[in-house]
Amino acid sequence: MFSSLARQQWVRSSLPVLVAAVVIMTAPSLVTGSFWQRVIILALFNVVLAMSLNLVIGYTGLLALGHGAFLGIGAYTSAVLTTTYEWAFWAAFFVAGITAAACGLLLAVITLRLRGHYLAIATLGFAVIVYQVLMNWIDVTRGPLGIPGIPTPPNIPLGNGTELDFGLPAAHIYLAGAFAIVCYVLIRRIVNSPMGDALRAVREDEISAKSLGIRTFAWKCFAFTVAAFAAGLTGSLYAGYMGILEPSAFVLTVSFTLLAMVIVGGAGTLVGPVIGALVLTIVPEALREVGPEYRMILYGLALTLVVLFFPQGLVGIGAALRSRFRSSSRSKPDEPPSDSTGTGFAKEVPVDAS
């Protein structure tokens, strides 16, 4: 009984990872056009960004709007270290993550006494500052000229004599894919541990959390720092893939698009942001076929409709249908609610007087 339950749990936790790994391994041979390979890589970066932002917005319930800034900090840190200072890529990669995490912690300590809209504005301000620094700290960032000639990650020998050649997009797909899977697994570990319980407690009711001995401020800082760290690492991979950085890649719109990925996919769920990031990266590109003038209108319309009709995000569609099916069949009324769905961001608190 227990072993079959354990096996079931193992399948449930490993299956998505295995499926993702297979999809990523086969992607470069299935999608050969350089345009779509590029879309896949950017989508994978967005998956990590949305997952990490979800830790802050979805699980901890903090409306933070400056996530794109951490991407920018990581990307520029990595780019400056590998070009001006000729660091090895992987050393720059980790320093990029740590720099972004340090900025995240600093921002958290300064702004996390605020909440709701005020926190949103403060973090937005942070994103504006970072953009201006990238634009105007010419000595380091070269301002609007951008940083060209950023080296790719070094080729990785594959044992059988061949190498993973980062001159080719396929290698970047594998790297971004592996990175996304590692991030997914680590975030899942956090979320399903007592740490995740503490974060959710902060989101659901801060006063209760405090009165139960949960250090709400420390946990909020933790979520912010971890999310910024992941975004900084992503920024380094982004710099290594693009080869050239300009401040315009880190405008405010980036942060808003990431927010949309989290909300549209399903905030406070594990797979929601993954789906949101994939859909919101791929759909706008697919809509190019429709024509540039209608593309963004359709995209905006789709966002509005999803938020209107599926406030729990795209993952909520499945859960809503399933619960409807379940209530009509009435087989297991006391099944514990699965945590991965149904703790959405935009839910109403039921008011029930006795």
Contact residues: another protein, CB under 8 A: 194, 197-198, 200-201, 204-205, 207-215, 334-337, 342-343, 347, 349-350, 352-354
Minimum Å gap between C-beta 218 and another protein is 9
Minimum Å gap between C-beta 198 and another protein is 7
* DSSP β-ladder status, 156-157 and 163-164: antiparallel
CA torsion angle 52 126 276 23 (round to 10): -50
- Report the residue number, 24 or 201, with the smaller CB distance to another protein: 201
Tokens for 206?
């801060």
- Report the residue number, 2 or 35, with the smaller CB distance to another protein: 2
DSSP states along 14-58: HHHHHHHHHHHHHHHHH---HHHHHHHHHHHHHHHHHHHHHIIII
Minimum Å gap between C-beta 209 and another protein is 8
- Report the residue number, 33 or 333, with the smaller CB distance to another protein: 333
- Report the residue number, 63 or 124, with the smaller CB distance to another protein: 63
The dihedral sign for the CA sequence 228, 232, 237, 239 = positive
- Report the residue number, 38 or 115, with the smaller CB distance to another protein: 115
Minimum Å gap between C-beta 342 and another protein is 7
Minimum Å gap between C-beta 227 and another protein is 21
Cβ count within 10 A of residue 339: 15
Cα-based distances in Å from 91 to 19, 86, 95, 140, 243: 31, 10, 6, 19, 17
Cβ count within 10 A of residue 221: 18
Tell me which residue of 70, 5, 32 sits closest to 254, measured CA to CA: 70
DSSP state of 183: H
- Report the residue number, 215 or 288, with the smaller CB distance to another protein: 215
Minimum Å gap between C-beta 354 and another protein is 4
